[in-house]
A and B are shown apart, each in its own frame.
Chain A
């Protein structure tokens, strides 16, 4: 059941992205920025966690889930450390993802070259 819900929720989030891409002049980069911010805002309003409860990876794998992850971290750290947590929470909770992206990105760039089209 988790797999079906992950497929449906993840698919729907991507579908919204596609509609935005095809009906506006937004580039993929705009969509990513918009979605990460949207995920953060929804998370702050307490609306994203229910989606994660339903969709599991379907809600956490899209970039909106990254925004949610950042906010979850901030809120945890604020609870624990107060004002300092405002500044440490986001990156602490996203540390794994960001480090993986940088290191794997660098590694792949060392190993591979773009293919001619």
Chain B
């Protein structure tokens, strides 16, 4: 049996991450991980006619770069698993139109990169493919106009609000044996603690992250000591604080090795309030910083817990609370 406990999978032949690529916007390029991105755009419209076209283009180029970095010919890539934040995941669908790869479109809001990695790993460990690529994108300007307000509207952002990352991250997964590898995956349940404020996603998502982390430890029998780094997706400073406290209350002290991609991407002086968010948030940190530092051996055991808020403007306007999800993957050098 490859299944551990109720929600976790232990891969028999852990799939390898054989190549990654990240593309980010100019603001992200001034942030903490500026040396880890493959391409930093000078302008987030990227010579396109609309923000949506720009997002499609960065997703497509990130996938092409990742395949190139993996040294596998494109003809050997069997699936393209991708998602984004836009209605009907148009960035992913339109990138797939350009790429011409068999496409599985997925949606997990900002947790999508972990969802893609889990499904991809299952496909590979299940023997249904040898190589595939999982990718996501998000774009500040496309997300703002879909979820919030026109860019030029003179409104004040709340201190709890987060800044959608402009960027794309792609990883090529393979049955070829090389480090780092995806060893475990914990698929999260949708948790809704009754938060309804779309300007405060961190608070809404933290309980989902906590639920998945505890489930992961219980299912695998691992403890926080089994990891060098535990990274949540985009809880931001408020959500991270809450998650840490909730875990401590439940008897798991992870504070010494815990961080959050949303907290890390931008420097505090970049004025993003509670931090970063968006599909690309967890993706560019994982495919950029984490992957490259794992290759160098700075980290050997990383738990990525990507978080997503499964709301829409319609559900928000109808007064619904925010259902949230978190998926965990263990990435290890074996």
Please list the residues of chain A having a beta carbon within 8 angstroms of any beta carbon in chain B: 21, 25, 27-28, 114-117
Contact = CB atoms under 8 A, between A and B. Distances in A.
Nearest to A108: B152
14 contacts: A21-B156, A27-B155, A28-B155, A28-B156, A114-B141, A114-B150, A114-B152, A115-B151, A116-B45, A116-B51, A116-B141, A117-B140, A117-B144, A117-B151
A117 B144 CA distance: 10
A114 B197 contact: no
B44 A116 contact: yes
B287 to A, nearest CB: 23
Interface residues of B, number: 15
Nearest to B26: A116
Closest 8 CB pairs of A and B: A114-B151, A116-B44, A28-B155, A114-B152, A116-B45, A117-B151, A117-B140, A116-B141
Given A116-B45, A116-B141, A117-B141, A25 B197 contact: yes
Contacts of B150: 114
A54 B272 CA distance: 41
Contacts of B144: 117
A25 B156 CA distance: 13
Interface of B: 27, 43-45, 51, 140-141, 144, 150-153, 155-156, 197
Contacts of A27: 155
Contacts of B141: 114, 116-117
A68 to B, nearest CB: 23
Nearest to A25: B197
Nearest to B152: A114
A117 B152 CA distance: 9
B43 A116 contact: yes
A27 B150 CA distance: 14
Contacts of A25: 197
Contacts of A114: 141, 150-152
A116 B50 CA distance: 11
A63 to B, nearest CB: 14
B316 to A, nearest CB: 11
Given A25-B197, A28-B155, A117-B144, 4 more contacts: A28-B153, A114-B141, A114-B152, A117-B27
A115 B197 contact: no
Nearest to B199: A25
Contacts of B152: 114-115
Contacts of A117: 27, 44, 140-141, 144, 151
Nearest to B159: A22
B140 to A, nearest CB: 6
Nearest to A116: B44
Nearest to B151: A114
A25 B195 CA distance: 13
Contacts of B27: 117
Contacts of B153: 28
Contacts of B43: 116
A114 B154 CA distance: 12
A117 B45 CA distance: 10
B50 to A, nearest CB: 10
Contacts of A21: 156
A116 B43 CA distance: 8
Nearest to A27: B155
A66 to B, nearest CB: 17
Contacts of A116: 43-45, 51, 141, 151
